[in-house]
Amino acid sequence: MIDWSGYVGLMLQGVLVTIELTLMGSALALVMAFVAGLGRLSRFFAVRALATAYIEFFRGTSIFVQLFWAYFVLPLLGVELTPLQAGVLALGLNVGAYGAEVVRGAVQSIGKEQYEACVALNLGRWQSMRHVILPQAFLLMLPTFGNNAIELLKATSIVSLISLADLTFQAQVVRAQTGNTLVPFTTILIGYFALAMLISWGVRSLERRLSRGIDGVRA
Amino acid sequence: MAEPIVRIDSISKSFGAFKVLDGLSMQVMPGEKLALIGPSGSGKTTILRILMTLERIDSGHIEVEGEQLYHMSRGQALVPADERHLTKMRQKIGMVFQLFNLFPHKCVLDNVTLAPMLTKGVPKAEAHKRAMELLDMVGMADKARAMPAQLSGGQKQRVAIARALALSPKIMLFDEVTSALDPELVEEVLNVMRRLAEETDMTMLLVTHEMGFAHDFADRVLFFDRGRIVEEGKPEDIFRNPKQERTQSFLKKIIAAGHRV
């Protein structure tokens, strides 16, 4: 007989860890996306090269391997990370590499006439970026950022491999202790789906809020 | 005799193999209203874009208020201007575009106040006050909180004029500012420009296909063809008695196309 109160408690702890990882990973990914995405548009070759190297490396290698590196190899180089830190680092850097291309694409898709208006108004490069280009580009980035965030959420399940007690880890614990597979895995299937829906909804409402007035429908 | 506010000295500019400007020289006096007319591809818009530093020149020199636009002196030598020099020179010049180029994510008022606050450090309250005066002048004060997408083309262009004026440039460049407008909206923009010409001593350079407006508005008309000035003179001379054959055939075509002179 399964102890259901214990079961629910385990799952709730797991959800909290998964949410924590998703939020912190997304925050790091967002920062990396802007740093590397704008870095690829830099005037300076060295900055562009560095950004490109980061993007290609983290897109081109497995997130498993990146996580294992962060957790098992970095300590050999004298950098000890907790499982949570290693998880956030690997997830953030990996998804940030994809996000960087989203940032670059969105910035480049803003019409030349907006840049020319900035020159005619004598705005500096950074002022133009900050006040004119990025606010418009951000709106274009949002839908893809939503995709990236959902990808990140689902990728958090790999941290169970470095013994971090997220949703997937807890399901395995329950299965090992009770021998029941259907219940815990169905629970987390629904759990991930519900969290993904939450992200979709959040991004969509943010998109609605930010695009208000730009399309001329409402002010 | 006053010094020219703009002195263009044998500038050339090519886009690939196409030579847009070919050793062009011209001068503009302070307060002068100048109309640049000619067939498309004749280089008239390129001159405005060069003055606004949106295109670089291949050779030649430009002086604005006695200072080199694309060069600066380092010791005895003239070297290409850096971004700081260009920023300083751009303060003298403003531009209004054919397609308005308003910032779609900012309301009318913010479109006008953004540059003064950022580039001149004008405090917000003061920038607002000045913006409202300018919007009032172009008849757009009641739309200060509207978003650009809610405005008609003529309204957008009037806001764009107010936005350029907010930086108090000495020279204003108008690049076919009514070409993208529905015919019934052209007049409201031209009226604003007439008022501007009457009430300020700003130097104004105007690229236009509105020959009637050019006739009434300009002190001097330049006819361009293939990167050179073919003919120049007072509007009544250019429009009534053009001397050059190319000017005559251009004006004939324009009139045949239904533009009034």
* Domain at A159, CATH number: 1.10.3720.10
The pLDDT assigned to A163 comes to 87
Is the pLDDT at B143 greater than 90? The verdict is: yes
The pLDDT assigned to B88 comes to 94
Distances (CA, A) of B141 to A152, B13, B137, B165: 48, 41, 8, 15
**A2 domain-assigned:** no
**A83 domain-assigned:** yes
Is B141 in CB contact (< 8 Å) with chain A? no
B54-80 average pLDDT score = 91
User: How many CA within 13 A on the CB side of residue A103?
Assistant: 24
Within a 10 A sphere around the Cβ of B28, how many other Cβ atoms? 22
**Which of the residues A122, A133, A142 would you substitute to probe the B interface, choosing the one with the greatest number of B C-beta atoms within 10 Å?**
A122
Q: At what angle do helices A134-155 and A83-109 cross, to 10 degrees?
A: 150
The pLDDT assigned to A93 comes to 97
Smallest Cβ–Cβ distance between A131 and the set B52, B99, B118 belongs to: B118
Rounded to a whole number of angstroms, the distance from the CA of A219 to the nearest CA of chain B is 7
**A42 domain-assigned:** yes
Q: Which residues on neighbouring strands pair with residue B67, listed in sequence order?
A: B64
The pLDDT assigned to B57 comes to 94
Is B117 in CB contact (< 8 Å) with chain A? no
Is B103 in CB contact (< 8 Å) with chain A? yes
Among chain A residues, the shortest Cα distance to B169 is held by A121
3-state class of B233 per DSSP?
strand
Query: Which residues 150-189 of B are in CB contact (within 8 Å) with A?
Result: 150, 163-164, 167
- What is the rounded (10 degree) CA torsion for A209, A210, A213, A214? -150
3-state class of A6 per DSSP?
helix
Rounded to a whole number of angstroms, the distance from the CA of A192 to the nearest CA of chain B is 35
The pLDDT assigned to A218 comes to 41
Which of A89, A73, A102, A76 is closest to A158 using CA atoms? A89
**A4 domain-assigned:** no
**A217 domain-assigned:** no
Quick check: A113 and B107 CB within 8 A?
A: no
Is B99 in CB contact (< 8 Å) with chain A? yes
3-state class of B258 per DSSP?
coil
pLDDT 10s digits, B228-242: 999 999 999 999 989
Is B142 in CB contact (< 8 Å) with chain A? no
**Contact indicator for B182, B156 with CB cutoff of 8 Å:** no
Quick check: A114 and B101 CB within 8 A?
A: yes
Is the pLDDT at A219 greater than 80? The verdict is: no
Share of chain B above pLDDT 70, in %: 98
3-state class of A176 per DSSP?
helix
**Contact indicator for B37, B223 with CB cutoff of 8 Å:** yes
Residue A111 and residue A206: Cα distance in Å, rounded? 23
Rounded to a whole number of angstroms, the distance from the CA of B70 to the nearest CA of chain A is 15
- What is the rounded (10 degree) CA torsion for A174, A177, A179, A185? 10
Quick check: B54 and A136 CB within 8 A?
A: no
Q: Where does B2-127 show beta strands of DSSP type E?
A: 6-15, 18-28, 33-37, 59-64, 67-68, 71-74, 77-80, 93-96
pLDDT 10s digits, A179-206: 899 999 999 999 999 999 999 999 999 9
**A108 domain-assigned:** yes
**Which of the residues A112, A115, A121 would you substitute to probe the B interface, choosing the one with the greatest number of B C-beta atoms within 10 Å?**
A121
**A156 domain-assigned:** yes
Quick check: A120 and B150 CB within 8 A?
A: no
**A218 domain-assigned:** no
pLDDT 10s digits, A135-160: 999 999 999 999 999 999 999 999 99
The pLDDT assigned to B260 comes to 56
Is the pLDDT at B135 greater than 60? The verdict is: yes
- ipTM, two decimals: 0.92
Which of A150, A136, A142 is closest to A26 using CA atoms? A150
3-state class of B206 per DSSP?
strand
Residue A16 and residue A22: Cα distance in Å, rounded? 10
A3-24 average pLDDT score = 90
Quick check: B146 and A131 CB within 8 A?
A: no
B38-57 average pLDDT score = 93
Q: Assign A217 a pLDDT band (cuts: 50, 70, 90).
A: very low
B72-78 average pLDDT score = 84
Give chain B's radius of gyration (CA, Å): 19
Is the pLDDT at B261 greater than 80? The verdict is: no
Residue B97 and residue B105: Cα distance in Å, rounded? 18
Distances (CA, A) of B80 to B58, B70, B174: 12, 6, 27
**Which of the residues B52, B53, B101 would you substitute to probe the A interface, choosing the one with the greatest number of A C-beta atoms within 10 Å?**
B101
- Overall number of domains in chain A: 1
Expressed as residue numbers, the domain containing A59 is 9-211
pLDDT 10s digits, B198-209: 989 999 999 998
The pLDDT assigned to B1 comes to 62
Quick check: A123 and B118 CB within 8 A?
A: yes
The pLDDT assigned to B258 comes to 66
**Contact indicator for B8, B68 with CB cutoff of 8 Å:** no
Which of B182, B87, B167 is closest to B134 using CA atoms? B167
Quick check: A122 and B91 CB within 8 A?
A: yes
